[in-house]
A and B are shown apart, each in its own frame.
Chain A
Amino acid sequence: MSEFLETILEGRKSQPHQLIEVLHDIQQEKGYISRKSGGTISRELGVPLIEVYRVANFYKAFSLEPRGKHIITLCSGTACHVRGANPLLNQAMGLLDVEEGEATEDGLFTVESVHCIGTCALAPVVVLNGVYHPHMTPAKLRALIKKVRRAEEESAHA
């Protein structure tokens, strides 16, 4: 077992109800739940492997595939929908040539939509790497994505 998993599982072994917390910690650090991690978790927590897989699959917070470096989260809550969330999603998918939930080929971006992040008064909202952007428009989103891209290109050349 890797040192990383050892740390996460400390104090939680043989406690099946800790499964979701453990998955949260792995997701946060590694960006996804691998088959190998799944096996280790199953053994150490005492949860059947199929259950680990079920839980990882059921909850949107967990990804079974590696995700892009920059996560673009578009809120698709009611307030955002009514104030124009759809064009934003179209813009992101169109510009990056991905479907919802997918990562771009260069592994830079993942576009996902979430049902309401709780800042409805500032609809429509886009979250990029944990930073909230209120009152977004397609033009602003385009600019934002371009900015991130440029920063990536610069650091790649540096």
Chain B
Amino acid sequence: MPKIASITDLAALRDRLLSVRSKDAVLITVCGGPGCQATECHNVSAEVRRELDTNGLGEKVRLRVTGCHGFCEQGPIMVIDPANVFYGQVKPADVGEILNRTVIQGEVIDRLLYTDPATKKKVVTEAEIPFYRAQNPTLLSQNRQVDPLSIEDYLAIGGYAGLARVLAGTEPEKVIAEIEASGLRGRGGGGFPTARKWAACRAAHGEEKYVICNADEGDPGAFMDRGILEGNPHAVIEGMLIGAYAIGAEHGYIYVRNEYPIAVVHAREAIRQAMEYGFLGGDILGSGMRFDIDIARGGGAFVCGESTALMASIEGKVGEPRPKDVHTVEHGLWNKPTTLNNVETWANVPSIINNGAAWFSGMGTDSSKGTKILALTGKVRNTGLVEVAFGTTLRTVVEEIGGGASDGKAIKAVQTGGPSGGCLPAYLFDLPVDFDILWEKGSMIGSGGLVVMDEKTCMVDVAKYFLNFLQDESCGKCVPCRIGVDRMLEIVTDITEGRGRPEQIPLLQELGETVAHTALCGLGKTAPNPALSTLRYFSEEYEAHIREASCPAGVCKSLIEYTIDSAHCDGCGACLTSCPQGAIQGEKDRLHTIDREACTKCGICPTVCARNAITVQ
């Protein structure tokens, strides 16, 4: 493929691609996103390919494997166009029937259709599914239309047109102005106004500047960036190109965390193709602009999501943050001016340039413009990636999109913002998804992780979980984070193990505030948030643990007992064989009992009991 030498050549290529791709041909799209990969969608797509080859249908029917469609709970997902039929939980064994009945004969297969839980009726198209209806998937919808390993797919939907528009003669300052007018704020958690960062970097001294894409996505429970980078890497590359042009950078890095090997593969391939087509390298589209991107891999450290630690990691050092009194836009990677933005931030840039700032700022709230991709997980029925306009309420996300509680227990809270965020109780679910409003309430939208918790989630245990996580991931350099978070964990552990004392509550609060104000980096400064938010909204659970030595949710091991209910036990012995401690005794067909002394409350036996005979008190 010869390089595209000019903007007119690009337009010509796009026209050619569109004319070749007839809208009438049948297109089978199989979702290859992270969730579907785990349910072996590759077996489904391999089976489709095999069938198409053996039946000689390859001419009339195309197969496209795309990135994440968002509805991970229903994976593997298959969509058949032009009818836009949506099939969920497809197995390789279904493929033959799908080709025969749906593709060739135009029939829908009922058992593969999604059932609307409210109406109990089957729905045929994706648009009718409640999960998708309440969303605003301006970015995520691109995933469905492109095979991440095909630059031509991206070009066909208008890819790199934003870059072309910018290179056609828009001054860099104008580009920054457009981003400013759009109101784009960082999507990685900081919510910093993107245009301001770019402007500061542009103004900084030095010829050599860098742009970085932060794909470290360490928040447990978050996989939005993975969905974008694996599913639509070219959107990220195009965004970085536009940013590099605006700032005056000639080199960029995509820093991908070690735990995302597929994202590395897809990003590498996208870069290779972009180079081949002339979107990277020298004299891009004949404009004289030069830009190269390298991939840097993380080594498995949450702290490397922090910008200064990330840059240290690219330099081959340990990921220890440094104080940010000197900004990285002036002295960043190798001490040069550097602009670091999140994957989703970069991916939004081409759409803003193509559709205009007003289109973007028309969505959202006063302070938070555009859309946000959220990773909806936890005790909710519909888990997966969702995209909503800022201003959408938490209730809409949890109930309408999420489909409500998964286990039939009342939803108690959502945890947003990962280890830097907090828990918000159900009575605050009418709050909108918004940077500033959630921050004011003690949480934050963060990178977009949203974990739903129900009655069976102990909020003190949640605080312990996050403190443990942060203590594990702390770099250990500064006293407040290394020792302070550890002491907070010590207190919360005391509370969950029945040793809590009332004076520990104000101490926990004071300690949390100290750490928040004195820690060296963002990890430490936000570390107290989960614990402090649970103190704020769920103090009654702390009280119960301290004053009554009880765990209302039935989670904290030291405060619960497992009992086999004689009314339900049928003596099947499943629990006996599964107990790693050998703490269960009983004869076949007779009531089994648990030896309290030996029981470590590991939690395994209730999961194997078919009669739900094991209760927790």
Interface residues of A (CB under 8 A from B): 16-21, 23-24, 47, 51, 54-55, 58-62, 76-84, 86-87, 90-91, 94-95, 114-123, 125, 132-134, 137-139, 142
Contacts and interface: CB of A to CB of B under 8 A. Distances in A.
Contacts of B604: 87, 90-91, 138
B302 A20 contact: no
Closest 8 CB pairs of A and B: A59-B299, A121-B72, A77-B220, A94-B580, A60-B300, A79-B377, A116-B220, A78-B221
A76 B473 CA distance: 13
Of residues A60, A62, A79, A137, which shows the largest number of chain B Cβ atoms within 10 Å of its Cβ? Answer: A79
Nearest to B456: A82
Contacts of A81: 220, 465
Contacts of A123: 377-378, 383
Contacts of B317: 19, 51, 55
Given A82-B378, A121-B384, A20 B38 contact: no
A24 B600 CA distance: 38
A72 to B, nearest CB: 15
B602 A87 contact: yes
11 contacts: A24-B297, A55-B318, A58-B475, A59-B300, A59-B301, A78-B415, A94-B602, A118-B34, A118-B223, A137-B607, A139-B578
Of residues B223, B298, B319, which shows the largest number of chain A Cβ atoms within 10 Å of its Cβ? Answer: B223
A118 B220 CA distance: 8
Contacts of A134: 35, 38-39
Of residues B258, B316, B377, B607, which shows the largest number of chain A Cβ atoms within 10 Å of its Cβ? Answer: B316
Looking at chain A's contact residues, the main secondary structure is helix
A87 B578 CA distance: 11
B219 A122 contact: no
Interface string B489-528: 0000000000000000000000000000000000000000
Contacts of B378: 78-79, 82-83, 123
Interface string B412-431: 00010010000000000000
Contacts of B465: 78, 81
Contacts of A138: 578, 603-604, 607-608
Contacts of B138: none
Nearest to A81: B465
Contacts of B73: 121
Nearest to B606: A87
B72 to A, nearest CB: 3
Contacts of A114: 259, 300
B602 A20 contact: no
Contact of A20 (B34, B72, B313, B385): B313
A134 B314 CA distance: 32
